[in-house]
Structure 1
Amino acid sequence: MKQFENNAFFWQKLDTIVLSSKLVIDRPKNTCHYKYSNLVYPVDYGYLADPTPQSKEQQPPVDVFRGSMGGTQVSAVAISADILKKDCEVKLLIGCSEEEEYEIMSFLNQTQFQKAVLIHRGNDVPEWAQND
């Protein structure tokens, strides 16, 4: 079994979510984390605001790191596990250079309480997804 199968349809769905939402940057590049002043955001950080009012109460917003390269296509996702919050989170990366991706991963992995992995966009369609 493959370690990870990169499904192009998954990335298309993420792009649709981004394009149908408003990106709100509430932590610009080089600002400190609201709780931990030693954590400085390496790129703009924010969330996708859903224009439908009922969705805000139903689920938390999608987190986004926005790099300097522009565009709206999701190039990668970071998945983090936080033992203090007993939580896992998915964060979208949009317009990030390779250097910015490295800085984001360093940011997400700098404490002993949280660790993250990065999954890059792919264009493959696995055999199990051929009917989509």
Structure 2
Amino acid sequence: MMKEFENSALFWQKLDTIYLSSKLVVHRAKDSAHPKYRNLIYPVNYGILEDTGGDGLREIRVFKGSMSKGIQGIIVGADILKRDCEAKLVVGCTEEEIEAILMMLNQTEHQKTVLLRRGNEVPEWASNS
């Protein structure tokens, strides 16, 4: 039964709606260094979706690659120094760009990330039949 809740197309549709109705504001251009950790070089543009993060929550963060594709997945990271867990959208990236993002984010022992790829299945419980 748990499999029905995994990677539902309906979840991704909700993210599409948020992404397509928001403006991406790039805070770190491709090939720029992180302001605090100079060894972290962004392999693609990185920014936030404007007008997200209501009620004091953090804005939705986005890695935007060189292609015109939509949302391809979510990178989820756990950071033991910040004692935090966060998610970032992956949009319009080639496989090489995705690999470079993951390599950048996983280069320290303090933070590790995983990629959850977009699915397109609609669970049985969600159909109107």
Contact preservation (8 Å) 1:6, 1:126 = no
TM-score, normalised to structure 1's length?
0.88
| Structure 2 spans left out of the alignment, 5+ residues | none
Name the SS for the 2:66 alignment partner.
Answer: coil
Taking the TM superposition and a 5 Å limit, the aligned residue runs for 1:1-132 are 2=3, 5-50=6-51, 55=54, 58-71=56-69, 73-130=70-127
C-alpha deviation, 1:58, in angstroms? 2.1
Count of aligned residue pairs for this structure pair? 126
Q: Distance in 2 between matches of 1:113 and 1:129?
A: 39
Q: Distance in 2 between matches of 1:80 and 1:88?
A: 6
Runs of 4+ off more than 4 Å? none
Contact preservation (8 Å) 1:7, 1:129 = no
TM-score, normalised to structure 2's length?
0.90
Q: Distance in 1 between matches of 2:81 and 2:125?
A: 36
When the two chains are superposed, the root-mean-square deviation of aligned CA atoms in Å is: 1.8
Name the SS for the 2:32 alignment partner.
Answer: coil
| Structure 1 spans left out of the alignment, 5+ residues | none
